[in-house]
Amino acid sequence: MLKVGVVGGTGYTGVELMRLLNGHPEADIGVITSRSEEGKTVGEVFPSLRGHVDLAYESPSALGLFDCDVVFFATPHGVAMGQAEELISNGVRVIDLAADFRMKNLNEWEKWYGTDHAAKHLLAESVYGLPEINREEIKSARIVGNPGCYATAIELGFAPLLSSQLIDRSSLIADAKSGVSGAGRKEDLGIIYSEVGDNFKAYGLAGHRHHPEIVETLNSLPGGDVKLRFTPHLLPINRGILATLYADLSDTSERDVRKAFENFFDNEPFVDVLPLGQFPDTRSVRGSNYCKIGIQVSEDSQSVLVVSVLDNLVKGAAGQAIQNMNIMFELDEKMGLNAPGLLP
């Protein structure tokens, strides 16, 4: 049985981690920390977990974290990099759901996150936690940087096309939409109900922090540098990412495109490539760790459209983090994550 710690257990990703870990047969939550709710029980803060997670929040410096096998950081960026070295030095493996260990390019990271990185020397050994691309490296990693939610949907949608060199790498467009929970559990005028309800808007038009993460990951695939235009949008729903992706095709057919997706995701437990003519919606993955993908080649065979859908709190955050934990500790990758999407 793995002893698990959760740092920052009061945000949406933190409570989702607790919900999913509660049903994991090989994980036992031993420590949950929070600055704001220290001393309160989890059930007081989240009644949905009353009777399921019978722990009180401890200080973020809780010594019990050093007795854990793995510690998840469900915190804003800048927290994990301040604690990771001491934890891994004591044999604790770290999975950061924020951005501290997602990128190798330090200059780009500091530019987009507006601060110095406090653990530069750990970036070389950290592993980007997208199992469909980095599974072998994740197995032995001491530090995993869990991908962003937009990034996961977009990278999974483009990866088969790039790896098979079927598209013009300079032509990538990602038009992506997120539910409001992607902004986190916080007080912010822009995400309150009366601002978001009955509304739909683009944001981050001058640039989004997931953009350099996506480009760095896609550049690691065969074929050279990519050029990507990425525009995020806010949907008036709680959960879900829907990314509509476009690229110009090389001289190829719809059969080649479908074969590329089927081959790339062959035996991948959490990516579902839908049959020809079918496209996913956000409710088909709600509450699940699945990414569902639909593909359409244009009538003139000059371009391809990909629809990639996932739950931003599960495959886009907590579920993928647990998937990484399963890989790191040689457990069945699907353990604790087998549930299908919730309908209606």
Contact present, 319 and 337 (Cβ < 8 Å): yes
DSSP 233-253: EE-SSSS-EEEEEEEEB-S--
**Cα–Cα distance between 97 and 184 in angstroms, integer?**
12
β-pair partners for 296: 305
In the set 149, 166, 215, 243, the catalytic residue is: 149
* Active-site annotation holds for 149: yes
**Cα–Cα distance between 238 and 210 in angstroms, integer?**
20
**Cα–Cα distance between 85 and 68 in angstroms, integer?**
14
Residue 31 — φ and ψ, nearest 5°?
-140, 135
Count of beta carbons in the 10 Å neighbourhood of residue 105: 15
**Cα–Cα distance between 10 and 261 in angstroms, integer?**
37
Would you say how long the chain is, in residues? 344
**Cα–Cα distance between 182 and 316 in angstroms, integer?**
9
The Cα-based distances of 183 to 76, 194, 196, 284, 289 in angstroms read 11, 16, 12, 21, 19
Q: Which residues are catalytic?
A: 149
